[in-house]
Amino acid sequence: MADFSRVLAGPYATMLLADLGAEVVKVESPAGDDTRSWQPPVRDGVSTYYLGINRNKRSIALDLKDADDAAAARELARRADVVVENFKPGGLARFGLDYDSVSAGNPGVLYASISGFGSGPEGASLPGYDLIVQAISGLMSLTGDPEGEPYRAGISVFDVMAGLHATIGVLSALNRRHETGRGQHIEVNLLSSALSGLVNHSSAYVAGGVVPFRMGNSHPSLFPYEPLPCADGDLIITAGNNGQFRKLVEVLGVPELADDPRFARNEDRTANRDELRPLLVDRLRTRTKMQWFRDIIGAGVPCGPINTVDQGVDFATEVGLDPVVTVGEGRAAVPSVRNPIRFSETPADYRLPPPGLDEHGAVLRDWLAAPVAGAGQTREGTA
């Protein structure tokens, strides 16, 4: 796999595919991926942002404005099973690295392009940054206090979604190629991923004509489904159906609420949340959040404390998810977050720590200089 992507969406997709067995060559400019300089925080002087999305790859630094380096990049693309890029639409054409050029010499290639707003004439020129898409898509209008300012999500949520969509697209196209032998162009853009990822909110408008609005931590269609205050802090409680609500109020010692006509059904609880909330809070304030957490979870009602990231990792460890893996050995070893997909037969493999810039450049240049018969015609022996 030839990875011409930078920053987050593309590198995240290619890392996931590398975990699942793809041999990924990360092509960087001589200055390196932007995320190498996105610091702090750092580990041994290297950006943890970069480390988090680039394991299991080999790095080669190529200046596409240099004739020899551009030729090496084209040869890499000619030999690749999959090409992933997130340049502005059309940006690679001048180097002979766009889909039409690559597929002419490699007709079986699966070529995945990730952009901000698609490749059409209206969106191709627009720069695609996650924060911009959070704003344009409407997500920020839904995030934050109802009386306050719109807020961005705490992570680059649409970069991650687009990376996942690109991964799904590559795997689907790979399966199709097994059936037909034909490659294809796969296009993903952040705005489409955002509108898909807004799920019930985008559907509220598209299917119902309703424009959603900011509700803080409340849910427009469910209650309780938010933080509720206990004696020492908030506990998230999510009673998603009538059975869970009945179990909740039994644990809280107010079972009669389940039969109160104001609260008997979810739509009733949602409509009358301002009446129900203080009744639940009166009970919750009598004990600590962790005391209630144990009892409410024990009754089969979803709930959880609001953790910091370190506490979230610790909790995943406590429940047996083994969230941290070590990639590499000795001083080069890097702790990394485990691939979230579990396989019974073909588990994710953590072979290589995130590469230094051009760490494998010499070996890869030698490989690209050696002739390979049938590149682009067979899927044997390609990257």
Q: Which tens digit of pLDDT belongs to each residue from 217-236?
A: 999 999 999 999 999 999 99
122 CB neighbour count, 10 Å cutoff: 8
CA distance 22 to 316: 27
Contact at 8 Å (CB) between 263 and 269?
yes
What is the per-residue pLDDT for 372? 75
Q: What mean pLDDT comes out for the span 273-277?
A: 97
At residue 381, does pLDDT exceed 50? no
What is the per-residue pLDDT for 127? 86
pTM: 0.91
> What is the location of CATH 3.30.1540.10 in the chain?
225-317
Instruction: Give just the sign of the alpha carbon dihedral 125, 130, 133, 137.
Output: positive
Catalytic residue annotation: 159
pLDDT digits (tens, 9 = 90+) for 129-163: 999 999 999 999 999 999 999 999 999 999 999 99
pLDDT band at residue 371 under the 50/70/90 scheme: confident
The residue with greater pLDDT, 381 or 154, is 154
Token couple for 222: 């469910």
CA distance 293 to 170: 41
CATH 3.30.70.1560 for domain 2-198+323-369, yes or no, is: no
At residue 48, does pLDDT exceed 90? yes
What is the per-residue pLDDT for 158? 98
Average pLDDT, the chain: 95
Range with the poorest average pLDDT among 165-169, 224-228, 265-269, 331-335: 331-335
Name the residue type at position 328: G
What percentage of the chain exceeds 90 in pLDDT? 95
Contact at 8 Å (CB) between 283 and 252?
yes
CATH of domain 225-317: 3.30.1540.10
61 CB neighbour count, 10 Å cutoff: 18
pLDDT digits (tens, 9 = 90+) for 241-268: 999 999 999 999 999 999 999 999 999 9
What is the per-residue pLDDT for 373? 60
pLDDT band at residue 46 under the 50/70/90 scheme: very high
> What is the location of CATH 3.40.50.10540 in the chain?
2-198+323-369
What is the per-residue pLDDT for 159? 98
With a CB cutoff of 8 Å and minimum separation 6, the contacts of 305 are: 233, 234, 235, 236, 289, 290, 293, 311
What percentage of the chain exceeds 70 in pLDDT? 97
